[in-house]
Structure formats: C-alpha cells, structure tokens
Amino acid sequence: MTVDTLCVQGGWNPGKGEPRQVPVYSSTTFRYETSEQMADLFDLKVPGYFYTRLANPTNDQVAKKITALEGGVGAILTSSGQAASTFAVLNLCQAGDHVVSSAQIYGGTFNLFAVSLKKLGIDFTFVDPDAPAKEIAAAIRPNTKCVFGETVANPSGVVLDIAKFARVAHAHGLPLIIDNTFPTPVLCRPFDFGCDIVTHATTKYMDGHSSQVGGCIVDSGNFDWAKYPDRFAGLVAPDASYHGLSYVKAFGKMAYIVKCTAHLMRDFGSIPSPFNAFLLNLGLESLHVRIRRHAQSALTIAKWLRKQPKVAWVNFAGLPDSPYHRLVRKQFKGGIPCGVMTFGIKGGRAKSIKFMDSLKLIGIVTHVADAWSCVLHPASHTHRQLTDAQLKAAGIPPDLIRFSVGLEDPQDLIADLKQALAKI
C-alpha cells in the first residue's frame, strides 16, 4: 500500500457493524476479571490496556497509522512535539551521557537540549549539518548515546543529509534520531535513508488544522541495541522496576518503543488526550492531499517573491537553484520538502516587521504547517531567548520572516503579499 492509502485507512480495519471512524476511548482505566490478569499487565507479560497514562486504544490506533506511514515497527503518541523529543532522548540517555545534535533544529528543541536536559546532566554538542562527515564524527565522545537532527530545520529551512548522518552515527555504534515534522512521511521517509528513530510534532502538517498539540515517536526496529550492551544498558540490562526484565530480550525489535511506554510514559506521563488523537487522525486522513498542495503553492509563491524588488532574499529548498536541490530531489518525493519558506525584506528587521503588520489575509501566529497561511518573525518571537551569536548559529538573520503557505488560493496570497509590499 502507498502512503496515500495508508493516510486514509492505515491502522484501522473495522469489521462487520463496527464504526468507520476510530472511536474515542475516553476512559482512564479498563476492567478485568481476575487479579492475575491485572498482575500480568503490570509485569508486561501480556499486552493490554489498564491505565490511560501508559496507553490508550484510540491513541494506539492513530500511532499504528503513523507507524505504517513511516515504515516502522511501532510508535507512541505524546502530548506534544516537545514531549516526543524529550522522550526520544531520555529513552537512551541519563546524567553523564552526551548527544551530538545538528545545530539547525527547532528553537524549542534547542532550548530543551542546551538548557533543560543539560541541567539534568546530559551534554550536547551542536554541529553544522552541512559540515563534512569527518567533522560531525569528531564531535562523538565515548559517552555519546545518539545523534539527533531535523529533516528540514524549522525555521532556517536547512535540509539535513540523513544518509550522511546515519553513516556517521552507525560507524560509531549510535542510533540516529530524526525530527521529521516538516516533510511528514508523505514527502520523506527517514528510515529509507538509514535513520533509526523518527519524532514528530503532529501539531503541524499531520494535524494541519490548528486543532491539537501532539507528538509521536516511531521506531524503525533496525538498531541492534544488544550489540552494545554497555552503551545501551537501559534497553539490554535487567530493569529493576520491572522485576529484572530486559526490553531487548522480551520485546526484540520493539524494545525501544516498549521502553518508551513502559518506563517513560509510566513515570513522566505525557500521554495525549484520546480526543486529541481522534482530531489528529482526521488530519491524517487528508495529509497526502494537503501537503502536496502546501508544497506546490509555496513553490509558486517563492518564485514570485524573489522577483519583487523590495524582497532581499528568499530561502526555499524547493527552488531549482537552491544549494540543497540535489539532496532535495534524492530525499523528498516530488522534489519539494514542505510548504514553509523564509525571506527577508530590504531594510532589515524594522521593514520586515512593518511588512508583516500590513498583511491582511496572512496572519501573525506562532504556528506553521496549517491550512491557514501565517507568518512569524523568529528573532522577536520564537527565538527571542537566543543571543545574536546563537541566532546566527541557528541560521536566523534578524530580518528573517518565516512564511507558512496554507491551502488558500496562491493567487489570493500573492495579492496580499503585494499590497503589504506596497505599504513599505
């Protein structure tokens, strides 16, 4: 089955007389008949639901669809994209460990890594994703546990060469984790290029209608944890909180994702509401149709924008003369990575702000990848905690406007851009 069919029907196969739509199991708990049945669930001896903080059937149905879309072996939904990034790393790292991350990542993930996880004793080295493999490899230390990157960085638009990062990670016995929020599996499947774990902010294109905040972690099942029993003791060695169970021995290829639920969801509890999973699934049913329209409209508008005399620059990896063009053609189906671009207005920060304030149809909101077109000024909004040097390292010039092209008629959007340009 292709991703188009999986977007619609993946993960849910109703039988005779069963609902066509995934039911919302709004229940904290699940009933059993014997004490032993319940005990077996607590020991992870049998699969099943007992308390929604760990797992819920609605969430699992939707996670199954995303698993199929990414071509993995298992997935869990989380309450936000941030929770997905946090769990993806905490499932492998503890105090004293180290992670190599691309410097071109979402601002929230950068803060999570550089500030919050660092306070918990996990150290991060940020590398330029465009650097040669040798330079990225030089950042790896004996205590490194994983390598992290973002397929298309929000907001810089930098495209990560997944195969290059996978080669470096695997040569050092490390898994590669990729945040695949912007392209979604419809336009790019990181597992096809050697990535081991995928994360998503389902908040963005997957939902696509600004209706819920959510995240997802998908396991490819490909990384051989047992080959490095000391490095990944958390997955290989007995877990004292489950009577000495080894995740690798008990769950094989599913070890990573089962530990994510059984350990992290149990203890940190970032489960999404089943109703949010239901909303997410409505978005997924049309994801394949929507994201191609987002991408195509963005290309049309990027081509128009760069011809305007008041526009200083346009950065969109879908443009044929983008420095990432070859990589984009290899890595993204259809040759356009997403519907988000960045550009600057001549005259710098102040002119960019005046331009944004003059837009009528295109709104100023802290969001991207939504049916409604929107803009944001990262230097004064999402990334305002960063110093000028950190902004530069994250690839964000002070005049940068992030523009998420929605599903409106691109000609109406061009008319709005045109009238706002005329006001400056």
Per rule CB under 6 A, is residue 149 in the interface with ligand PLP? Answer: no
CB of 300 to ligand PLP, least distance (A): 23
CB of 342 to ligand PLP, least distance (A): 13
Local structure of 342: helix, strand or coil? strand
Name the residue among 401, 393, 399, 384 with its Cα closest to residue 316.
Answer: 401
Interacting residue with ligand PLP among 213, 280, 284, 400 (CB under 6 A): 213
Interacting residue with ligand PLP among 58, 67, 203, 322 (CB under 6 A): 203
* Pair of tokens at residue 194: 């050697």
Render the burial of 154-167: b for 16+ CB within 10 Å, e for the rest: bbbbbbbbbbbbbb
Give the whole-angstrom CA distance, residue 17 versus residue 107: 47
CB 366 within 8 A of CB 90: no
Per rule CB under 6 A, is residue 402 in the interface with ligand PLP? Answer: no
Per rule CB under 6 A, is residue 108 in the interface with ligand PLP? Answer: yes
Beta carbon nearer to ligand PLP, 56 or 80: 80
Per rule CB under 6 A, is residue 150 in the interface with ligand PLP? Answer: yes
Per rule CB under 6 A, is residue 281 in the interface with ligand PLP? Answer: no
Per rule CB under 6 A, is residue 106 in the interface with ligand PLP? Answer: yes
Beta carbon nearer to ligand PLP, 204 or 383: 204
Local structure of 340: helix, strand or coil? strand
Which residues, in sequence order, are CB contacts of 267 under 8 Å at separation 6+? Answer: none
Interacting residue with ligand PLP among 57, 74, 81, 208 (CB under 6 A): 81
Beta carbon nearer to ligand PLP, 109 or 261: 109
Residue with the closest Cβ to ligand PLP?
81
Q: How many residues bind ligand PLP (CB under 6 A)?
A: 15
Region from 19-27, 74-82, 250-258, 304-312 binding ligand PLP, contact rule CB under 6 A:
74-82
Local structure of 177: helix, strand or coil? strand
Beta carbon nearer to ligand PLP, 166 or 216: 216
Per rule CB under 6 A, is residue 80 in the interface with ligand PLP? Answer: yes
What is the biggest distance separating any 2 CA atoms in the chain, rounded to whole angstroms?
74
The torsion angles phi and psi of 121, rounded to 5 degrees, stand at 95, 10
CB 217 within 8 A of CB 78: yes
Per rule CB under 6 A, is residue 215 in the interface with ligand PLP? Answer: yes
Per rule CB under 6 A, is residue 124 in the interface with ligand PLP? Answer: no
* Helix-strand-coil split of the chain, %, nearest 5: 40, 15, 45
Region from 201-209, 246-254, 260-268, 295-303 binding ligand PLP, contact rule CB under 6 A:
201-209
CB 376 within 8 A of CB 366: yes
HEC states along 367-423?
A: CCCCCCCEEECCCCCCCCCCCHHHHHHCCCCCCCEEEECCCCCHHHHHHHHHHHHHC
Per rule CB under 6 A, is residue 204 in the interface with ligand PLP? Answer: yes
CB of 179 to ligand PLP, least distance (A): 5
Per rule CB under 6 A, is residue 61 in the interface with ligand PLP? Answer: no
Give the whole-angstrom CA distance, residue 423 versus residue 118: 45
Order of strands, sheet of 363-364, starting from the edge strand that comes earlier in the sequence: 311-315, 340-345, 401-404, 374-376, 363-364
Beta carbon nearer to ligand PLP, 112 or 140: 112
* Pair of tokens at residue 84: 């997905």
Region from 16-24, 196-204, 327-335, 349-357 binding ligand PLP, contact rule CB under 6 A:
196-204
Region from 57-65, 106-114, 297-305, 326-334 binding ligand PLP, contact rule CB under 6 A:
106-114
A 10 A CB-CB count for 313 gives 14
Residue 367 exposed, middle or buried by CB count within 10 Å (0-12, 13-18, 19+): middle
Strand partners, 216: 77, 200
Beta carbon nearer to ligand PLP, 44 or 201: 201
Residues 158-187 that bind ligand PLP (CB under 6 A): 179, 181
Binding residues vs ligand PLP (CB under 6 A): 80-82, 106, 108-109, 150, 154, 179, 181, 201, 203-204, 213, 215
